[in-house]
């Protein structure tokens, strides 16, 4: 899979910018946009031009660079304040994917450490460049590692069901949930995928189907309400999804509809796998009940993609994510290993590993 969903284009180290795939236009058009200001990065994240938890984290790091790259002339105390306020602005983009806050905290911590070590303003800016680029390269490496570990769960001839898009488009690398599929495919295993359409914004139909077809992987698109039927017909060997935030007890928050798929999988005796880097695990959150769930505008349901499908003025409720209780999760694949039947103890142990 060769799609690079976002990258930092270096200028003179003062006028760099973030180039990203405009995901709202896929699959009709493959267009890249150049994001050059912090408000434009907030907007790109909110509009889902860049989306998927790890990709949002990488975008947040680059958003910080947009905010500070021209500020190296400030007095260093003033620059520190500016770094913190840029991070607060970016944090407002979307509430659920913890990778956004994780990346911003990491950027601010780096600045704080450099500041306390006596760095001048130029060195503070240089440190931010290094950190943002590390967030991206580390994410790519973690995707690969999760792909290798997760591929062991995929036997030759298996068919997997996935929900939303947790592929290259959603990360700085080859994906989370789709990474084991890519690696299994590389290993010569025969793998097929059923992709849920993922109402209302159709990340499954528009993005996963497109991405897997580009990679030459056998993919079949279904609407979300077909998943039960497809499982009953015995067509699915395992479910594999990504996550936007995992609580420390193993509850998994992901795209709306994931919880329903997990219940269906349990009923049909199908394993339910989650693939996510540790940057998606929020140990500050005890259970999924504490995870803030984004609500999206009603128009995304009533007039998705320009066609009115509900009466004018219809009352709408539009949570963008749901929480799958840990008891429905067979295993979580992270970059440091597979956590089977996740519990708080096992998650904290994985988080403490080097
Ligand atoms: O609203 P989105 O498209 O950002 O939601 C994305 C998802 O729910 C993904 O499944 C999740 O971020 C995992 S991405 C590797």
**Interval 234-242 mean pLDDT:** 98
Q: Which of 109, 144, 179 is the last residue of a domain?
A: 144
8 A C-beta contact, residue 242 and residue 176: yes
Question: What is the domain count for the chain?
Answer: 2
Q: Are residues 275 and 342 in the same domain?
A: yes
Q: Give tens-digit pLDDT for 93-139.
A: 999 999 999 999 999 999 999 999 999 999 999 999 999 999 999 99
CA 56 to ligand 1 centroid distance, Å? 9
How far is the centre of ligand 1, averaged over its atoms, from the C-alpha of 214 (Å)?
19
Tokens read off for 135: 């967030």
pLDDT value for 13: 74
Rounded to two decimals, the pTM is 0.97
Closest residue by Cα to residue 274 from 149, 158, 111: 149
Nearest CA to 155 out of 121, 114, 194, 192 is that of 192
Q: For residue 126, how far is its CA from the centre of ligand 1 (angstroms)? A: 31
How does strand 17-21 pair with strand 238-241? unpaired
> Which of 144, 159, 190 represents a domain boundary (last residue)?
144
Nearest to 57 by CA among 70, 45, 69, 43: 45
What's the average model confidence in pLDDT over 198-217? 98
- Considering the domain boundaries, does residue 295 fall inside one? yes
Q: Each residue of 73-98: pLDDT tens digit?
A: 999 999 999 999 999 999 999 999 99
Query: Which residues, judged by CB distance below 6 Å to any ligand atom, belong to the binding site of ligand 1?
Result: 48, 51-54, 97, 164, 166, 170-171, 176, 203, 242-244, 254-255, 320
Q: How many residues does the chain have?
A: 354
**Domain end call among 144, 172, 201:** 144
- Give the angle subtended at the CA of 114 by the CAs of 113 and 118, to the nearest 5°: 115
pLDDT in tens, 279-293: 999 999 999 999 999
For the chain, report the end-to-end CA distance as a whole number of angstroms. 29
- Pair 92, 73 in one domain: yes
- Judgement on whether residues 107 and 151 belong to the same structural domain of the protein: no
296 within some domain:
yes
Q: Which residues are catalytic?
A: 244
Q: Which domain holds residue 65?
A: 6-144
Q: What is the CATH number of the domain that holds 64?
A: 1.20.120.420
CA dihedral 277, 291, 38, 205 (to 10 degrees): 70
Same domain for 160 and 209? yes
Q: Is the pLDDT at 1 greater than 60, yes or no? A: no
Sheet holding 245-247, edge to edge: 281-282, 245-247, 252-255, 321-324
The CATH number covering residue 268 comes to 3.40.50.10470
Give yes or no: residues 133 and 171 share one domain: no
What is the atom index within ligand 1 of the atom nearest the CA of 97? 12
Does a structural domain hold residue 1?
Answer: no
């Amino acid at each position: 899979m060769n799609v690079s969903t976002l990258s930092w284009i270096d200028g003179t180290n003062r006028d760099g910018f973030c180039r990203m795939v405009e995901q709202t236009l896929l699959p009709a058009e493959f267009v890249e946009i150049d994001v050059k200001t912090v408000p434009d990065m907030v907007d790109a994240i909110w509009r889902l031009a860049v989306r998927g938890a790890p990709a949002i984290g990488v975008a947040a790091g680059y958003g910080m660079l947009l905010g500070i790259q021209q500020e190296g002339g400030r007095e260093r105390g003033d620059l520190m304040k500016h770094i913190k306020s840029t991070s607060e602005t970016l944090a407002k983009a979307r509430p659920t994917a913890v990778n956004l806050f994780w990346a911003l905290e990491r950027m601010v911590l780096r600045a704080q450490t450099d500041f306390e070590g006596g760095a001048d303003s130029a060195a503070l800016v240089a440190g931010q460049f290094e950190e943002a680029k590390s967030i991206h390269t580390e994410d790519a490496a973690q995707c690969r590692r999760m792909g290798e570990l997760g591929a062991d769960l995929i036997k030759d001839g298996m068919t997997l069901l996935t929900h939303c898009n947790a592929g290259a488009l959603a990360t700085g690398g080859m994906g989370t949930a789709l990474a084991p599929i890519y690696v299994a495919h590389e290993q010569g295993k025969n793998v097929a995928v059923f992709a849920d359409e993922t109402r209302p914004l159709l990340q499954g139909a528009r993005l996963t189907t497109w991405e897997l077809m580009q990679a030459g992987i056998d993919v079949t698109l279904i609407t979300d309400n077909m998943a039960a039927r497809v499982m009953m017909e015995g067509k699915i060997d395992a479910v594999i999804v990504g996550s936007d935030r995992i609580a420390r007890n193993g509850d998994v928050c992901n795209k709306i509809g994931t919880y329903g798929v997990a219940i269906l999988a349990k009923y049909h005796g199908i394993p339910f796998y989650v693939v996510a880097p540790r940057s998606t695990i929020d140990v500050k959150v005890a259970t999924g009940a504490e995870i803030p769930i984004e609500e999206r505008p009603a128009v995304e349901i009533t007039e998705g993609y320009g066609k009115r499908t509900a009466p004018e003025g219809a009352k709408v409720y539009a949570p963008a994510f749901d929480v799958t209780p840990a008891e429905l999760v067979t295993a979580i694949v992270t970059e440091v290993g597979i956590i089977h039947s996740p519990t708080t103890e096992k998650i904290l142990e994985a988080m403490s590993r080097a």
